[in-house]
Amino acid sequence: MHLTIDGRVVEAVPGQTVLEAARAAGIYIPALCYHPKTGKAGRCRACVVEVEGLRGLKESCALLVKDGMVVRTDTPKVLQTRRMIVELLLSEGHHNCISCQSNADCELQEMAYHLGIERPSYLVESLPTPKDMSSGGIVRDSDKCIQCGRCVVACQHGVVNQVLSFAYRGSHAQVVCDDDQPMGESTCVQCGECVQVCPVGALVLKQPLENKIRPHETTATKVTCPYCGVGCQIDLHTKDNRYAFAMAHEGQWDRQPNKGMLCVKGRFGLDYIDSPDRLRSPLVRKKGKLEKASWDEALDVVAKGLKAIQEKHGPDAVGFFTSAKVSNEENYALQRFGRALIGTNNIDHCARL
């Protein structure tokens, strides 16, 4: 089916929302409460559009496409409404892009940019609220929270860890952990899904914040998590050839095994790759002590040793432990080496352990 958005004919599939169809066609419609993983929420109204034949403004995140629909995302009424929404959001709390960890990775900032808002028109004086630094991996800054509710939906219904919820009423409403505990003292298991979906800088990772690395400076590479067998697809963010932080890979997230989620190990447990304990040279035991050696020396010791034992005791005097941690290609190579060049089937790994 087809619809027209801002004069462009756009293809759509039944069941899609206007927002999804527009984004698929590369047309910018902001959305603060909607996220593909948490679904429509109808809270922020940032995604409003005008539709021919329908009265008033419509939330495009909740509006299903119809064949022949004519949609406008850029009418004065739409833009004025969006501007007011952003103005009001910016008036509350303390949104300071200069020092924000999410600078250049912020959906509110992007929206303000698109609308040409250079500085907020309304200023509501309020005392800053201290950041919640109690958690090992996550920093909560309620001054930057726009109460979109993504994190609450993600925590309650996505990862089902059931820690975050809304508490208090009216202008006092806020996102809390359990019965308003500091995050580090709550039942939070630090999966980081809330950070993953937060559109602003209200929930950020502590490690890059402390290391002064902001998301726009990093390169993301899709890797498979080295921990359990779920095989989560991770965007490993690096800067200057070093680990920066990890986010779940969200490309085609609904077809990936982890559906765009991670656990505490995948989220925070990858910095070991830069550990000073990493081996940086081959070692050979000399006079009882392991000492640095060249590759040629080390490999020669191994080859000579294996050959000597193979000759003296036969091939079955050698055993190989392949690894549940290395790639298929490397497992294949080692068992080929053991079987074809040593001549033994003494090949196993720690699957039983």
Partner 1 sequence: MAGLATTLGSGAMTNSMEEVFKSKVLLVIGSNTTWNHPVFGSLLKRAVKQNGVKLIVCDPRRIDLVDFADIWLRHRNGSDVALLSGLQHIILRDNLEAADYIRERTEGFQDYKKSIDFFTPERVQKLSGVPVEDLEAAARLYATAGVGALYYCMGITQHSHGVDNVKSCVNLQLITGNIGVEGGGVNPLRGQNNVQGACDMGGLPNVFTGYQPVTNPAAVEKFSKYWNVPLSDRVGLTLTQMIPECGKKIHAIYILGENPMVSDPNLHHVEESLRKLDLLVVQDIFLTETAKMAHVVLPGVSFAEKLGTFTNTERRVQLSNPAIRPTGNVRQDYEIIADLALRFGQEFPRAPESLFQEIRDLTPSYAGLTYERIREVGIPWPCPTEDHPGTRFLHAGKFARGLALLTPVTYSPPAEETDEEYDLVLSTGRILEHFHTGSMTRRSQILDAAVKNGHVELHPEDAKKRGISDGDMVTVATRRGRIETSAMLTDRVDRGSIFIPFHFAEAAANMLTNDALDPIAKIPEFKVCAARLERIAVAALEQK
Question: Under rule CB under 8 A, which residues in 153-182 are in contact with partner 1?
Answer: 157-161
How many angstroms from the chain centroid is the CA of residue 269?
Answer: 14
Q: Under 8 Å CB-to-CB from 204, ≥6 apart: which residues?
A: 101, 102, 138, 139, 141, 195, 198
Handedness of CA 131, 133, 134, 135 (dihedral sign): positive
Backbone angles phi, psi at 232, to 5 degrees: -60, 140
Nearest CA to 118 among 102, 97, 139?
97
Instruction: Please list every residue from 207 through 226 that binds partner 1, using CB under 8 A.
Output: 207, 219, 221-226
Q: Which is nearer to partner 1, 77 or 222 (CB)?
A: 222
* Contact with partner 1 (CB under 8 A) among 101, 109, 142, 322: 322
Q: How much is the CA Rg of the chain, to the nearest whole Å? A: 27
* Contact with partner 1 (CB under 8 A) among 11, 52, 185, 348: 348
Q: Which is nearer to partner 1, 103 or 331 (CB)?
A: 331
Task: Output the six-digit token pair for 122.
Answer: 């309304």
Q: Which is nearer to partner 1, 11 or 274 (CB)?
A: 274
* Contact with partner 1 (CB under 8 A) among 2, 8, 216, 285: 285
| Count of beta carbons in the 10 Å neighbourhood of residue 21 | 25
Please state, in angstroms and as integers, the Cα–Cα distance from residue 100 to each residue in 123, 138, 307, 327, following that order: 19, 14, 61, 39
Q: Which stretch binds partner 1 (CB under 8 A): 48-56, 81-89, 118-126, 329-337?
A: 329-337
Q: Closest distance between partner 1 and the C-beta of residue 227, in Å?
A: 5
Q: Which is nearer to partner 1, 129 or 256 (CB)?
A: 256
Burial class of residue 192 in the structure, from the number of CB atoms within 10 Å of its CB (0-12 exposed, 13-18 middle, 19+ buried)? buried
Instruction: Please list every residue from 59 through 78 that binds partner 1, using CB under 8 A.
Output: none
CA–CA dist 151, 194 (Å, integer): 4
Verify binding: residue 289, partner 1, rule CB under 8 A.
no
Q: Closest distance between partner 1 and the C-beta of residue 71, in Å?
A: 30
Please state, in angstroms and as integers, the Cα–Cα distance from residue 281 to each residue in 51, 206, 325, 334, following that order: 66, 32, 20, 21
Q: Which is nearer to partner 1, 168 or 332 (CB)?
A: 332
* Contact with partner 1 (CB under 8 A) among 180, 185, 300, 311: 300
Verify binding: residue 305, partner 1, rule CB under 8 A.
yes
Nearest CA to 196 among 231, 166, 232, 227?
232
Verify binding: residue 133, partner 1, rule CB under 8 A.
no
Q: Closest distance between partner 1 and the C-beta of residue 311, in Å?
A: 11
Nearest CA to 35 among 193, 142, 163, 192?
193
Which amino acid belongs to residue 226?
P
191, 161 contact by CB (below 8 A): yes
Q: Which is nearer to partner 1, 75 or 219 (CB)?
A: 219
Q: Closest distance between partner 1 and the C-beta of residue 258, in Å?
A: 5
Site size for partner 1, by CB under 8 A? 113
Q: Closest distance between partner 1 and the C-beta of residue 286, in Å?
A: 10
* Contact with partner 1 (CB under 8 A) among 164, 279, 287, 311: 279
Verify binding: residue 34, partner 1, rule CB under 8 A.
no
Binding mask 231-270 for partner 1 (x = CB under 8 A): xxx--x-x--xxx-------xx--xxxxx-xxxxxx-xxx
